[in-house]
Amino acid sequence: MKQIILVLSCCLFMTACVNWDITGPAGPEGLPGPPGQKPPGADTSSILGRVFTFNQFTVPIWPVDSVKITLHLSADSTLETMADTAGYYRFNGISTGTYNLTYSRSGFGEMKVFGQTHISGGTLNTTVQEVSIVQIATQNLPDSAWFGQPISPDYISFRFTTTPSNFSMANQNYLVFFSKHANVSDRDYLFKMEYQSIYTQKSLLAPYFSPGDSMYARVYLFPRYFYTPVSSVTMIRPGTSYIDPSTGELVYPFRNSQSALAAGVF
C-alpha cells in the first residue's frame, strides 16, 4: 500500500511540474462582429491644398503665410484659415459637399476655385489644385496707347508704351476693350480682344462700329512670367485664372487695375 501511495505521489508531483501552456494551431476564424459606431467629431477627412504668391514682376514671394483662404460652406457661412510659410493650408472635419474657395491677400488678385467636391467620413483627404495669386501691377502700366498705321484698310493697329521698359509689348500678354465712349473699361465695353495680335480685323469690330464712329480702347497688361511661348501658341501657367460660373467669363485677377486710353475713328 505504501508503495502505491508513493507512486501516486510521484505522478502528481511530475504532473504539477509539466508546462501545459502550449498554444495549438489556430481554429477557424469566427464571424466578424457588428461595426462600431463612429463617435461625434471623429471624421478626419479634410480639404487641403497649396497657394503660391508672386510679386508684380512675377518673382516668387516667400514666406506665404499672409494669404487668407476662405471656404464657402453656404451663401452666408464661411470658414477661414491662413496659409503657412510654405503656402500649405487645411480645413479639417468638413462635411460631404461641393464647395467654393477664395484666396486673397491685400494688394493681390483674388483667386477663386469653384465646385470643389469633397467626400467626408474617413481619412481620405480632398486636395485642391495648386493656386497662384499675383501682385496687382503698379509699375508695368501703359503710359500711352494709340491706333497706329494698319497693314491694310481691313485692319486696325493698336499699340501702347510702358514704363519701366522691362515690359515688352508682345502678342497675347494684354487685353484691349473697345467702346464708342471714353469711359470704356473692363466692365463697360462693346468688344474685347484677348491675346490677339496688335493688328485686328475690322470685321471683328463691324458688329459694334460703323464707318465714322468714334472709337476708344483701353488696355490691361499681364505679368510676362506666366506666358511661355510654344511655337506660335502661348500657354498660361495653371492656377492664375478661372472661369466665373455666373458669367462664363475667363477671369485674370492679377492684371493691372490701371490702363491707358486710345482714341480714334472707326
Report for 91-100, 143-152, 171-180, 216-225: range of highest mean pLDDT: 91-100
DSSP 135: B
Distance between CA 216 and CA 221 in Å, rounded? 17
Higher-confidence position of 16 and 46: 46
Q: What does the mean pLDDT of the chain come to?
A: 78
Specify if 198 maps to a domain.
yes
Cell 503665410 sits on residue: 65
Strand segments (E) across the chain: 46-54, 68-74, 77-82, 88-92, 97-104, 111-118, 126-127, 131-134, 141-148, 155-163, 174-179, 191-194, 199-201, 214-221, 227-230, 233-236, 242-244, 249-251, 261-265
Specify if 171 maps to a domain.
yes
pTM above 0.75, yes or no: no
pLDDT in tens, 26-53: 777 776 665 555 455 556 789 999 999 9
Q: Which domain holds residue 148?
A: 141-236+258-265
Is 265 a residue whose pLDDT tops 80?
A: yes
Name the domain boundary from 84, 104, 134: 134
Specify if 84 maps to a domain.
yes
Specify if 8 maps to a domain.
no
